[in-house]
Structure 1
Amino acid sequence: MPKIDYSLNSYQRPKLETPNGEKKLLLHSCCAPCAGEIMEALAASDIDTTIFFYNPNIHPFEEYEIRKEENVRFAKKLGMPIIDADYDINEWFEKTKGQENEPERGKRCSTCFDMRFERTAQYACENNFDIISSTLGISRWKDMGQINDSGERSGQLHHVPYWDFNWRKKGGSSRMLELSKKENFYQQEYCGCVYSMRDTNNWRVSKGREKIERGVKFYHEAKLKLSQID
């Protein structure tokens, strides 16, 4: 059987369908690089999608603004509505208190996912959306089971179904990277929270590398500051 080429230039997108024919999808987005491929797939499938940007974990606020604006930029390109939710960082710190030293994929990540999914599901319920999903699962650095468990819990809490589609399959992760390069998305090197930045910097220093330089566009021929190319 010939190998299928799933790259952006040759891939023939199949029409996606929601699990039970739901019409209005509220898609939680963590950042443009993760969301881009998923947003394109949904747009190509004519699924009525609204993006919900709620990520109070992202630290510091300047980093949050950069990631949000990249997502807004691509949503506008696709003609896709995007909701800019609150940046309630103080509540995030309160909920994760005592979990500061949890590893990636540990209890702190579950707390963080729950907080973001619960707000997504609540908004969906209050604004007549039929189903929710998230871009979090496309990253190979995340535990998909952990993410889906959180999505299911939050959906049940607010009586809205959660779509656990595996966005990584059939070349999704590789197309995500291709699209990020094509669209010149801002690419961060840590998940988002102050603790993930700390742990990433510790790892980089242990390998003799420099600490994270925020505000740099890594999907570019040179590491240029956003202000130099915008």
Structure 2
Amino acid sequence: MKHLPAHIKMEKLLIEVNALPTKPRALIHSCCAPCSTHVLNTICDCFSVSVLFYNPNIFPNEEYQKRKSEQKRFIEILNRSDLSFYDIDSNHSDFLKAVKGYESEEEGGARCGECFRLRIRETAKKASLMGFEYFGTTLSVSPMKNSDLINKIGEEAEREFNVKWIPANFKKKDGYLKSIQLSKKYNLYRQNYCGCEFSFRGGDDA
């Protein structure tokens, strides 16, 4: 299964997990409510999910608070007993430290990779410390995000923190389109830039 595409790996994993007598616990990093819509729709029947909102890249703070509030609201709308919200402090200075030297990189370049690594590693660390069996992220929903890189970082974090990575490319099979449709259905706020001040200046979509 090692060389299969990530979305095929995920499909096989979901079948395996769905056959278990009890749902394993998964800590899922979410970058924003809109991206989480399709992801949660895909995995919540197989996992008991806690959504981790750890996004120190988001700038300014007003935008951060707005996205976090919208994520919490969406989880409340779904109203599932097997779905919860987990928040930790997101210090913007941690992001700036992680991407130091890459500030002028183009969107999708090395700066984004360091941002992915910061958030995915923290998710794996928290998952390991809190006894979750799996961890993952919503990041691959966006067509702006490199799913191969995201999965590579996830696999590295799996080995480092000894917790299982959920391989995924959630943009496959119209995943991004489905996230847009679900966002409209639930009247969710959809931002027009990834989050950091550098993407804000570039005006790129999330």
- TM-score of the alignment, normalized to the shorter chain, above 0.5: yes
Report the equivalent of 1:178.
Answer: 181
Tell me the SS of whatever aligns to 1:86.
coil
| Residue number in structure 2 paired with 1:134 | 137
CA distance 1:19–1:192, change in 2 (3 Å): farther
| Larger helix percent | 2
Report the Cα distance in structure 1 between the residues aligned to 2:35 and 2:186, rounded to whole angstroms. 12
Moved over 4 A (4+): 18-22
C-alpha spacing 1:18/1:134, structure 2 compared with 1 (3 Å): farther
Query: Once the two structures are superposed, what CA deviation does each residue of 1:60-90 show, in whole Å capped at 9, x if it has no partner?
Result: 0100000011110111222321111111111
TM-score, length of structure 1 as denominator length? 0.76
In 1: Cα distance, 2:118 partner to 2:157 partner: 9
Say if 1:158 and 1:140 are closer, same or farther in 2 by CA, change over 3 A.
Answer: same
In structure 1, stretches of 5+ residues that fail to align are 1-13, 202-211, 213-230
1:17 to 1, 14, 21: 14
1:125 aligns with 2:131: no
Percent of residue pairs bearing the same amino acid type: 37
What is the distance in 2 between the residues matched to 1:82 and 1:76? 9
Partners of 1:70 and 1:95 in 2: how far apart?
Answer: 26
**How has the CA–CA distance of structure 1 residues 18 and 99 changed in structure 2, closer, same or farther, with 3 Å as cutoff?**
farther
The Cα RMSD (Å) is: 2.1
Q: TM-score, normalised by structure 2?
A: 0.85
Shift of 1:42: 2.3
Letter in 2 for 1:71: Q
Shift of 1:33: 0.7
Question: Which residue of structure 2 aligns with residue 116 of structure 1?
Answer: 119
The structure-2 alpha-carbon separation of the partners of 1:183 and 1:29, relative to structure 1 and needing over 3 Å to count, comes to: same
- Letter paired with 2:41: E
CA positional deviation for 1:166? 2.4
Instruction: Give the Cα–Cα distance (whole angstroms) in 1 for the partners of residues 116 and 16 of structure 2.
Output: 22
Q: Cα deviation per residue 1:33-53 (whole Å; 9 max; x = unaligned)?
A: 11011112223x242111011
Q: Quote the offset at 1:25 in angstroms.
A: 0.9
Which residues of 2 match residues 151-230 of structure 1 at below 5 A? 151-200=154-203
Q: Which runs of 5+ in 2 are unaligned?
A: 1-10
Tell me which residue corresponds to 2:108. 105
Contact 2:14–2:46 (Cα < 8 Å) also in 1: no
Partner Cα distance (1:105, 1:19) in 2? 33
Encode CA deviations 1:126-168: one digit per residue, 9 max, x unaligned: 1110011110001111111111111111221111121112222
| 2:129 counterpart letter in structure 1 | E
1:146 aligns with 2:143: no
**Matched-pair contact (CA < 8 Å) for 1:16–1:42:** no
Supply the distance in 2 between the matched residues of 1:19 and 1:101 (Cα, whole angstroms): 43
Kept after mapping to 2: 8 A contact 1:58/1:192: yes
Query: Aligned partners of 1:99, 1:30: CA distance in 2, in Å?
Result: 20
Q: Secondary structure at the match of 1:77?
A: helix
SS of alignment partner, residue 27 of structure 1: strand
Q: Secondary structure at the match of 1:133?
A: strand
Aligned AA (1:89):
H
Supply the AA of the counterpart residue of 1:47.
F
Moved more, 82-91 or 19-28: 19-28
